[in-house]
Amino acid sequence: MKIYALLLASLLAVGLSGCGAEMKPAASSAPAASSQSVSVKAIHEIAPASEKVFQEASTLYAKGQNREALLTCDKALEIDRENYKALSLKGLILALDVSPEQGIGQVLKALKINPDYTQAFYDMAMAQKLAKHYDESISYFRKVLAVDPKNTWSLYGIATNYADKKDKANALSYLQKAMTIDPEHVRPEALSQDHFEWLRGDADFQKVVGGK
């Protein structure tokens, strides 16, 4: 989860506050596999040239140059149309800057190629959040947490989704988990973003964030 790791807080601040808006799936309840051999689809191997261009796109995105990053994702996809990393990043940028629904479509393409691409879980959670599909967003953030239980911004993302749903108990529960891991960065976001505006005067909220 290191591609955009340094961007998670800033992305949440821009993407989440802007919508008024933060990685492998949890254990399945499906029956156990039979003893018969099961064919496993090989994960697509991204062409090295396309991977290189994707890394350039990621760097541009990290610098806040979203338009240039989007164009560079397209260049990576011209080389390898199944570059799931480029598809997912493209989807995230489209969700932020153009249309959440368009973004969701691109991230879905990435997940069809690599269903276990953890970064795509996070990108999808963000896109669904921006589209105000709060339950779907929560589901994808939980997929992130199944891989990285201490992923601060997925915990915070879930908290904001519950806050937007006006579910105080769950909002504060997940906010507390995020605060426990990284209070220095979570506190200012919780105290400034719109999600928690309706809770600002609440004693329980103040107890969680330690604000005044």
pLDDT for res 88: 97
User: What's the domain range around 109?
Assistant: 5-23+46-209
For range 165-189, the mean pLDDT = 97
pLDDT for res 42: 84
> Cα separation of 22 and 154, whole Å?
6
> Cα separation of 140 and 120, whole Å?
9
> Cα separation of 172 and 202, whole Å?
11
Instruction: Indicate if the pLDDT at residue 181 is higher than 70.
Output: yes
Instruction: State the Cα angle at 195 between 192 and 198, rounded to 5°.
Output: 90
41 belongs to a structural domain: no
- Token digits for 99? 């249309």
Instruction: Indicate if the pLDDT at residue 24 is higher than 90.
Output: no
- Token digits for 89? 């990043």
pLDDT tens digits, one per residue of 63-75 = 999 999 999 999 9
- What's 126's domain CATH number? 1.25.40.10
Under the banding of pLDDT at 50, 70 and 90, the label for residue 14 is: very low
Task: With beta carbons less than 8 A apart as the criterion, state whether 98 and 66 touch.
Answer: no
Minimal CA–CA distance to 187: which of 161, 203, 207? 207
Under the banding of pLDDT at 50, 70 and 90, the label for residue 210 is: confident
28 belongs to a structural domain: no
What pTM does this model have? Answer: 0.80
95 belongs to a structural domain: yes
> Cα separation of 24 and 208, whole Å?
29
User: Which helix (H) or strand (E) covers residue 11, if one does?
Assistant: helix 8-18
Count how many domains the chain has: 1
pLDDT tens digits, one per residue of 111-165 = 999 999 999 999 999 999 999 999 999 999 999 999 999 999 999 999 999 999 9
50 belongs to a structural domain: yes
Q: How many residues does the chain have?
A: 212
